[in-house]
A and B are shown apart, each in its own frame.
Chain A
């Protein structure tokens, strides 16, 4: 079960209202590669994992994503709280404002509401973990896009932190795949080919890709 903690994972103190930027950042709340989908993806996938490393990492990253969800919604809240009607009227946030006011609602920057179709649970550990690697990179790319369009240092510090967490999660998921595939290697007949990067046991690299051929 879960307990709420009355603190953010990273401090957020936005000084200037910016409804236009809020309308972009909200994608990481309810968009296709956002924190809500990330959390639900990992917390749903863990039931069909076959070993404790994967159950543990999906539980813990899925939980951390909930903390990130709170950070993204805090950004949206602080960027809109003191926005004037004039500022809202002249920004792309106006359409969102008509439906949701200054509330925080899970939608993508494009206006599409949150949809569980943005992620999968196959019941297959390798398939799910490979999706998780891609998910972390897609979220990282979304944060990069936000950084290109934002010039508020108070916002960017938070976005850079969240972006860095995606990279750490990617690294941990890569190691979790190795746990599963190494076990299969011993028990079954699977060949693993390293095409880039290095094995964590002999000096870790953050960008390894594993190809698995079932003979």
Chain B
């Protein structure tokens, strides 16, 4: 694996970790909407996930099509796709 891909994979793993915690808190809060501790955790995790996402998109390309901002080329369709290893 190239150093470039190693960095990409590591950053993606971090983002996936934060996104998962965010999702888990999302489900918990759906049934506990007044839980202050969970609300605080969700806020900080969501902010961290957003930062990691911005860093990933800037370095390695879009995760979602609305993050494609290049005026030269539509980079959304470029691989690798998530099912490709």
Write out the residue numbers on chain B whose beta carbons fall within 8 Å of the beta carbon of A47: 83
A-B contact count (CB 8 A): 15
- Are A53's CB and B83's CB within 8 A? no
Is B83's CB under 8 angstroms from A56's CB? Answer: no
A interface residue count range (under 10 / 10 to 19 / 20 to 34 / 35 or more): under 10
| Dominant SS among interface residues on chain B | loop
Residue of A nearest to B77 (CB): A56
Bitwise, B65-85 to A at CB < 8 A (1) or not (0) is 100000000001111011100
A52 at the B interface (CB under 8 A): yes
Find B81's partner among A1, A53, A55, A60 (CB 8 Å cutoff). A55
CB-CB under 8 A from A46, the residues of chain B are: 81
A55-B81 Cα distance, complex, nearest whole Å: 8
Contact with A along B7-31 (1 / 0, CB 8 A): 0000000000000000000000000
Known: A47-B83, A52-B77, A55-B81. 8 other contacts (CB 8 A): A46-B81, A52-B78, A52-B79, A52-B81, A53-B77, A55-B77, A56-B76, A56-B77
Residue numbers of A with Cβ under 8 A of B are: 1, 46-47, 52-53, 55-56, 59-60
